[in-house]
Amino acid sequence: MAAAHDPGCGGRRGKAVTLASIGRMQLTATASELLYREAHCLDARQWDAWLALYAEQCEFWVPSWKTEDAPAGDPQSELSLIYYPSRAGLEDRVWRVKSGRSIASRPLPRTQHQVTNVRVVAAIPEADPREIRVEYEWCVNQFAHKIAEVQVFFGHAEATLVLQDGAWRISRKKILLLNDYVPAKLDFYSL
């Protein structure tokens, strides 16, 4: 009889697992898998596969901090650490890295991306989602072997995932870098 109120018996705070919560768990698993794949592509330097995870119409934004507690709120009118209003900007950056024309990226650092605490904050429409909004935490360990230095970047992120042609893709990504005292070079593969 006490089992109905025991969170250890499959429910949360005495509530049974519902179809809605199962659906939310499936969405969280779907979003997590996409974000884990993105992290792997960056670590493995699979740039084309990484780009393929992004929708044609996407935004990639790393705001700067206006104050100690407030990040920039508008990439059009405030300073950003990185801002690409479309996938074309990401494609250009990847081309520069792949071609060796990015002097700042030679040699490329070794990276190890971690994605944690993925939470679905919205599913639109809720009954049969075509868009998922997620928030998560991230950390990147980076070894710049040219200068024999380990760098660590970490923060929060928000992403909007859209269902296109039967696959989930990233249509918007906002990366809040918490340790924003960064070395002279910071690029997409560092975040």
Show the DSSP H helices in the chain as ranges: 19-43, 47-52, 87-99
In the prediction, which pLDDT does 104 show?
64
Q: State the DSSP string of 65-77.
A: BSSSS-B-S-TTT
Answer yes or no: is pLDDT of 5 > 80: no
Residues composing the chain? 191
pLDDT at position 187 is 82
Q: What is the pLDDT of residues 81-108, one digit of tens each?
A: 999 999 999 999 899 888 876 666 667 8
Question: Quick check: bond before 63 cis, omega within 30?
Answer: no
Domains and CATH numbers, the chain: 2-190 (3.10.450.50)
In the prediction, which pLDDT does 149 show? 86
Q: How many helices (H) and strands (E) does the chain have?
A: 3, 6
Task: For 109-120, write each residue's pLDDT tens digit.
Answer: 899 999 999 999
Contact 139, 119 (CB under 8 A): no
Q: Which of 100, 75, 96 is nearest to 172 (CA)?
A: 75
